[in-house]
Amino acid sequence: MPTSYFPAAKSFDDQNQGQVDVKHSENEGYSKKMMNSIDVQEIDVNLYMSRSLWRPIGARGVFGGVIVAQSLRAAWMTVPDNFHIHSLHSYFILAGDIDIPVLYNVQRLRQGRSFATRSVTATQRGKAIFVATFSFATFSDAVNAEHFTAMPSDVPEPESVMAEDDRVKLYLNTVKDIPPHVRSLMEKRLADAQSVIYKEVGFEGDVTEMLNGATTPNSNHQRWFKTREAVESDDPKIHAGIIAYASDAGILATAAYANGLRFGGDRIGMMASLDHSIWFHQPCRADDWLLHDMHSPRSADGRGTAFGRIYSRDGTLVATTAQEGIIRLSKKEQERRTKQNKSDAKLVIDSSTDASKL
C-alpha cells in the first residue's frame, strides 16, 4: 500500500495530537485512500506538501501519476471556485523518493476573468523533480463549435475483460514453470492492491508472452479503468485528479508494445516517463468505467511517444493525453536484435543475388 504520513507542520486535523507520525489504518476504504493519494496539505501561501506517496513494485521512484495529480491539486487550490482545469503540460526531472514528502511550489502566472495559468515545481531535498503548467477556464454559456472523435466500436465491454489482478492470480494458479523472480514479482504486485482497477484489452492470451517479455507488435493499446470503490465525493476536482493519476499508467507501455516488448523477461532495460500532457474536455466521474484508447506513432533514439483518448462509457471523449518516455533495451535484447538485423540483411543480399542470376 502507499506509504502514508502526516506532515511535521501542524494542521487543524492534528491540533489535538501535536506533531504526529501516524500510518493510516489498513482497514481504511479504497475511496479514502484514493482521495488521500492525490491530496496535498497547504503549509504556506502557494506552498503545499504531499500527504502520501506510492512506488510501484520494481519502479525506480514514486509513481508519476501521483506527482501529476498532487501538482494539479496544489494548482487548483489557488484558483477561484468557478474555474476548472482544461489542460496541463509537465516534465519529470528526477525520480521521486518515497521516504520524504514532496513540496509543491505554485506560481500564479495569470488570473483573468476566463482563464487562469499556474506553474508548479515539485521538489525534494531542495531539487526540482517535476515541473508543470496548468491552465484553468470558466465554463462558457455561449453557443460553441463542438465535435469529438468517436470511441472505437469494437472494444469489448469492461465486464468481459479480465482485471490485471485477476489475470496475475490466474497465471500464478495455472502456470507451474514461472521463474522464481517473476513469481515473486507477481505475488508482490497482488499484495500491493491499488485503488484503481485496470483492465487491458487483448491481453488474455498466452502467458508465455508475459514470461519472455515479448508480444506481437501492435501500436494500439486499450484499457478500461475506474476506482475500485465508489468515490465518496462529487467534487469534480477529485475526479479530475484521479483521472490525471490513472492516465500515467500504461500509456508509455503502448510504445513498448509497438516494438513487440512487454514487461517481464529480460528485454526491457529501462522505462521511465519524461513528459505528460492532458487536455480535459468535459468533467466526468472516475468511479465509472473509462476507456483509455492509446496509440504510439513513433519510437526512436531510446524514447517512445504515445497519445491517448479517454472516453466515458457512453462514448463521450472526456480527455486527451500524450506522453514521451525512455525505452531502453537490455544489453541482451540489443545483442539479440543486432544479430537478427544482420541475419535479415544477409537474407536481402542473398535474395538480390539470386534475382540477378535470373
Q: Which candidate in 273, 277, 296, 299 is catalytic?
A: 273
Q: Look at the chain and report how many structural domains it folds into.
A: 2
Q: Say whether both 37 and 182 belong to one domain.
A: no
What nine digits make up the cell of 45?
501561501
Q: Are 161 and 222 in contact (CB under 8 A)?
A: no
Q: Say whether both 165 and 61 belong to one domain.
A: no
- Cα–Cα distances (Å) from 49 to 83, 100, 104, 353, in that order, read 22, 10, 6, 67
* The pLDDT of residue 164: 86
Q: Say whether both 172 and 309 belong to one domain.
A: yes
Please list the pLDDT of the chain residue by residue as tens digits (358 residues): 444 443 433 232 443 333 323 334 443 588 888 999 999 999 999 999 999 999 998 888 999 999 999 999 999 999 999 999 999 999 999 999 999 999 999 999 999 999 999 999 999 999 999 999 999 999 988 899 989 999 999 999 999 999 988 888 888 888 888 878 778 888 888 888 889 999 999 876 555 566 667 788 999 999 999 999 999 899 999 999 999 999 999 999 999 999 999 876 688 899 999 999 999 999 999 999 999 999 999 999 999 999 999 999 999 999 999 999 999 999 999 999 899 888 777 666 666 666 665 6
Q: Say whether both 128 and 210 belong to one domain.
A: no
Q: Are 31 and 231 in contact (CB under 8 A)?
A: yes
Q: Say whether both 59 and 175 belong to one domain.
A: no
Strand, helix or coil at 99? coil
* The pLDDT of residue 176: 80
Q: Which candidate in 248, 277, 287, 296 is catalytic?
A: 248
Q: Say whether both 170 and 235 belong to one domain.
A: yes
Alpha helices in the chain (DSSP H): 30-37, 64-76, 164-174, 180-191, 208-212, 236-247, 253-258, 331-356
Q: Say whether both 121 and 190 belong to one domain.
A: no
Q: Say whether both 188 and 279 belong to one domain.
A: yes
Looking at residue 334, its amino acid is Q
Integer Cα distance of 325 and 222 in angstroms: 18
- Is 9 part of any domain? yes
Q: Are 180 and 321 in contact (CB under 8 A)?
A: no
* The pLDDT of residue 18: 31
Determine the angle formed by the axes of helices 236-247 and 64-76, rounding to 10 degrees.
150
- CATH number of 268's domain: 3.10.129.10
Q: Say whether both 213 and 181 belong to one domain.
A: yes
Q: Rounded to the nearest 5 degrees, what angle is found at the Cα of 158, between the Cα atoms of 153 and 163?
A: 135
State the CB neighbour count (10 A cutoff) for residue 180. 7
What nine digits make up the cell of 178?
514461472
Boundaries of domain holding 69? 1-140
- Is 150 part of any domain? no
Integer Cα distance of 53 and 188 in angstroms: 18
Q: Which candidate in 50, 52, 90, 323 is catalytic?
A: 323
248 as an active site residue: the answer is yes
273 as an active site residue: the answer is yes
In this prediction the pTM is 0.87
Q: Say whether both 224 and 285 belong to one domain.
A: yes
Q: Say whether both 131 and 181 belong to one domain.
A: no
What is the DSSP annotation of 253-309?
HHHHHHTTB-SSTTSEEEEEEEEEEEEE-S---SSS-EEEEEEEEEEETTEEEEEEE
* The pLDDT of residue 148: 94
* The pLDDT of residue 341: 84
